[in-house]
């Protein structure tokens, strides 16, 4: 049996805070840690095992998209740990179907022992059988509880929105949370001055690009930069670059924010489901707007006047356009998406609009990157990668045939050794019978017995080594047959492609960065696979 290496997993959900003080105490990180460590200290088999702790504080259990849980699973897959311990099933996850999949398939496949202390569950007690009806019922109850809690939480939030309470996680640009009154906004003088200036310039008839350029010339921090400056420990806006300035879209977002009139606006978006993070926009008719809930930065009349000016500007009717590189081409300097333009007679090209609004931007001004050039680069890169993969796949087939031959040879050798072992045992029995029948002297019997024991010992050692080799070869086969690699499927679909399509780009490319010196950097969706193939090559 493997030496146990314990992974302790602890999870505390923000929803636990809505269930009373006793619930908070029983589910706290400290309480879970104490409970699990006391259990391990009492367990004779696990008390001396090394322990590694993984914690998710403030994450829901309705999905597995949690950094602590993913780190724990990585440790279990790599063999750094082989025992997982949680307070109860709900700490691991609340989706009963997903929990059942882990109990019945994932953990057994990885050879992981799972222990749920409060549920009295130890997977070692259920080897070869299912966890029993009580395990299924517990997980169904946990999942139902989670969905019921989600509905209750949503209902409570809607009620707070109708009361005019602000329930957002972050205050809008121009405001801060009220220091004394919960769920209320107060004006932030520094950023509110910028909001006021944007509206004043808009009322003067300035276009969004002109407003953005004026703010960048004066070095006014963007909402993202201002937030990072005020909240250095937060992960919000961390992907934004410091040198990125105001754009016409950022100005438009400020001008469209109705909260600046003193109203709270809620229910703009709704979650797609209780276990899904994705949200969907609601119709404006379903928004919950409550007037006069905090100090206004602009009057309602000014706000409506600006909306009328924005609506009167003609941007032309745009038709939905599809092209191979749609959604992936970005500026290598500012990391923002490039704009695709095409005249009536000119070829399509990409350009960065950041330098138009920000004279201090590092992005090249008025630099055009031809679409056909970028498409050729991407197509060649994909073709090279698939060619590399095809050569590697051919080698793998040869290796697989060799491995199967090794398995057959190893199994045949084991069979021969077993037959030889049985022959030696029969001979040892005949020697003993001859000694009993006084056909052998004691000295001759002991000599023959010693010779046969030595031969059997050597056979036992060779058989043990052969069985180990056979097990390793068969395990390699299981790992290879665990399912097709993503590139297996893509190679079948695009292995002979000679023209770039949007579907192909979406399958292979995550981002395409274009730099001012004409360098192109492709971020692949299967970067780890490509790196491995290059190493093998």
The string of DSSP codes covering 219-230 is: TPPPHHHHHHHH
Main-chain phi, psi angles of 159, to 5 degrees: -65, -40
Measured between alpha carbons, how far is 84 from 52 in angstroms, rounded to an integer? 10
Give this prediction's pTM: 0.47
CATH classification (class only), 175-312:
alpha beta
Output b/e per residue, 464-496; b: 16+ Cβ within 10 A.
eebeeebeebeeeeeeeeeeeeebeebbeebee
Alpha helix stretches (DSSP H) within 222-342: 223-230, 248-255, 300-312
User: How high is the mean pLDDT in each 10-residue block of the chain (537 residues)?
Assistant: 86 59 58 91 90 88 84 90 90 76 81 88 69 54 59 76 87 91 91 93 90 88 86 70 74 91 88 63 87 92 90 51 84 83 79 73 77 89 79 56 68 82 84 81 86 86 82 65 58 80 85 86 71 56
Residues 47, 41: contact at Cβ < 8 Å?
Answer: yes
The CATH 3.40.50.1390 portion of the chain extends over 6-159
CA distance linking residue 64 with residue 106, whole number of Å: 13
Q: Nearest Cα to 224, choosing from 196, 202, 246?
A: 246
Q: Is 14 exposed, middle or buried (0-12, 13-18, 19+ CB in 10 A)?
A: exposed
How many angstroms separate the CA atoms of 349 and 369, rounded?
5
| Parts of the chain belonging to CATH 3.90.1750.20 | 175-312
Other beta carbons within 10 angstroms of residue 10's beta carbon come to 24
How would you classify residue 237: left for phi > 0, otherwise alpha for psi between -120 and 50, otherwise beta?
A: left
| 6-159: CATH topology | Rossmann fold (3.40.50)
Residue 536's pLDDT is 56
Does residue 490 sit in helix, strand or coil? helix
- DSSP-derived letter for residue 342 is -
């Amino acid at each position: 049996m493997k030496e146990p290496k314990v992974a302790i997993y602890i999870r505390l959900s923000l929803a636990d805070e809505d269930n009373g003080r006793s619930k908070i105490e029983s589910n706290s990180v400290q309480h879970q840690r104490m409970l699990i460590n006391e259990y391990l200290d009492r367990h004779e088999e696990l008390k001396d095992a090394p322990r590694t702790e993984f914690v998710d504080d403030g994450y829901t259990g309705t999905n597995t998209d949690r950094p602590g849980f993913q780190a724990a699973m990585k440790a279990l897959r790599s063999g750094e740990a082989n025992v997982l311990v949680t307070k109860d099933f709900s700490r691991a996850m609340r989706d009963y179907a997903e929990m059942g999949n882990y109990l019945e398939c994932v953990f057994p496949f990885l050879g992981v022992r799972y222990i749920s202390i409060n549920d009295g569950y130890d997977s070692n007690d259920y080897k070869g059988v299912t966890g029993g009806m009580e395990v299924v019922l517990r997980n169904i109850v946990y999942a139902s509880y989670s969905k019921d809690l989600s509905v209750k939480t949503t209902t409570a939030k809607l009620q707070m929105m109708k009361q005019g309470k602000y329930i957002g996680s972050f205050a809008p640009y121009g405001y801060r949370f009220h220091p004394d009154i919960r769920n209320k906004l107060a004006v932030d003088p520094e950023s509110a001055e910028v909001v006021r200036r944007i509206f004043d310039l808009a009322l003067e008839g300035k276009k969004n690009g002109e407003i953005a350029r004026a703010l960048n010339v004066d070095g006014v921090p963007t909402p993202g930069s201002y937030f990072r400056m005020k909240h250095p420990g937060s992960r919000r806006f961390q992907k934004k670059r410091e040198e990125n300035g105001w754009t016409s879209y950022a100005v438009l977002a400020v001008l469209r924010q109705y909260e600046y009139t003193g109203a709270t606006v809620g229910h703009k978006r709704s979650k797609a489901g209780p276990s899904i993070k994705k949200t969907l926009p609601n119709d404006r008719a379903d928004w919950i707007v409550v007037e006069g809930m905090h100090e206004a930065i602009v009057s309602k009349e000014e706000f409506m006047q600006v909306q009328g000016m924005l609506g009167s500007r003609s941007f032309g009717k745009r038709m939905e356009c599809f092209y191979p590189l749609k959604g992936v081409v970005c500026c290598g300097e500012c990391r923002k998406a490039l704009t695709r333009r095409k005249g009536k007679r000119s070829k399509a090209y990409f350009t960065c609009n950041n330098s138009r609004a920000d004279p201090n931007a590092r992005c090249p001004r008025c630099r055009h990157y031809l679409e056909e050039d970028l498409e050729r680069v991407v197509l060649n890169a994909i073709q090279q990668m698939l060619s590399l993969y095809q050569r590697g796949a051919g080698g793998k087939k040869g290796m697989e045939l060799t491995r199967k031959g090794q398995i057959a040879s190893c199994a045949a050798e084991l069979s021969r050794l077993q037959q030889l072992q049985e022959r030696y045992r029969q001979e040892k029995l005949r020697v003993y019978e001859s000694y009993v029948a006084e056909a052998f002297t004691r000295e001759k019997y002991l000599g023959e017995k010693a010779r046969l024991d030595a031969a059997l010992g050597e056979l036992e050692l060779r058989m043990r080594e052969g069985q180990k080799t056979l097990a390793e070869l068969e395990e390699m086969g299981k790992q290879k047959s665990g399912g097709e690699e993503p590139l297996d499927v893509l190679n079948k679909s695009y292995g002979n492609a000679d023209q770039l399509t949007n579907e192909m780009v979406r399958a292979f490319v995550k981002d395409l960065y274009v730099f001012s010196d004409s360098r192109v950097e492709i971020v692949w969706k299967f970067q780890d696979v490509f790196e491995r193939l290059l190493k093998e090559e």
